[in-house]
Chain A
Amino acid sequence: SAVISQKPSRDICQRGTSLTIQCQVDSQVTMMFWYRQQPGQSLTLIATANQGSEATYESGFVIDKFPISRPNLTFSTLTVSNLSPEDSSIYLCSVVFGQARSEQYFGPGTRLTVT
């Protein structure tokens, strides 16, 4: 089975700074997504990372705060900008290998703490 990795696995950042999270898959995927899991909560979709074009953001999430890149079929980055304590969450990338209706798999997550 394919391996989905995320870097960093965790970080502690100061208020006002930014953190860029990388997601790497060892085989080509058709779709990549970024989710947020706030403490004690379930997962919420931030955006769909589109290869070679701007990401598609869900309601409540904007590009200035969560810029996303996806330069190829196996790699994507999520930046969380101008950090505040409310951004302390787990950020997870998720991928689909076939058609959009296919199974969806998650990376191990990046645990962000903002002080």
Chain B
Amino acid sequence: QKEVEQDPGPLSVPEGAIVSLNCTYSNSAFQYFMWYRQYSRKGPELLMYTYSSGNKEDGRFTAQVDKSSKYISLFIRDSQPSDSATYLCAMKAAGGTSYGKLTFGQGTILTVHP
């Protein structure tokens, strides 16, 4: 079993839709949770960074973390064609031998069509 599981999609939605992206994880040591957006042939761009359980909102993006369920989500409101990309969840522990190391999900390919 992988430490981080993410539905690879692909996910196709119409412009203006609400998009929900999800990851589950098995390692209870993960404390910091990130969402990256990666356009084709580009490096990952950090979208959201959260610590422990709760919600964080930034413009059209909302990140949710539920540590009790080991489940994180990214919601995109009013999706735009420019949101079409691969979305990667990533997480890291607070210390120990994995200090600073990110563990990634497989990535979800999202297409928003006009």
Contact = CB atoms under 8 A, between A and B. Distances in A.
Interface stretch (A11-19, A37-45, A68-76, A80-88): A37-45
Interface in B73-109: 88, 90, 92, 94-95, 99-102, 104-107
B104 A103 contact: no
A107 interface: yes
B43 A104 contact: no
A103 B49 CA distance: 7
Contacts of B60: none
Interface residues of A, number: 23
A109 B42 contact: yes
A45 B46 contact: no
B100 A96 contact: yes
Interface string A20-33: 00000000000101
A48 B101 CA distance: 8
Interface string B24-38: 000000011010100
Contacts, number: 57
A41 B8 CA distance: 10
B92 A106 contact: no
Contacts of A77: none
Contact of B41 (A45, A58, A94, A111): A111
B44 interface: yes
Given A43-B44, A106-B43, A94 B102 contact: yes
B80 to A, nearest CB: 22
B43 A108 contact: yes
B42 A108 contact: yes
A98 to B, nearest CB: 11
Interface of B: 31-32, 34, 36, 41-46, 49, 51, 88, 90, 92, 94-95, 99-102, 104-107
Q: Closest 4 interchain pairs by CB?
A: A100-B100, A106-B43, A42-B104, A108-B43
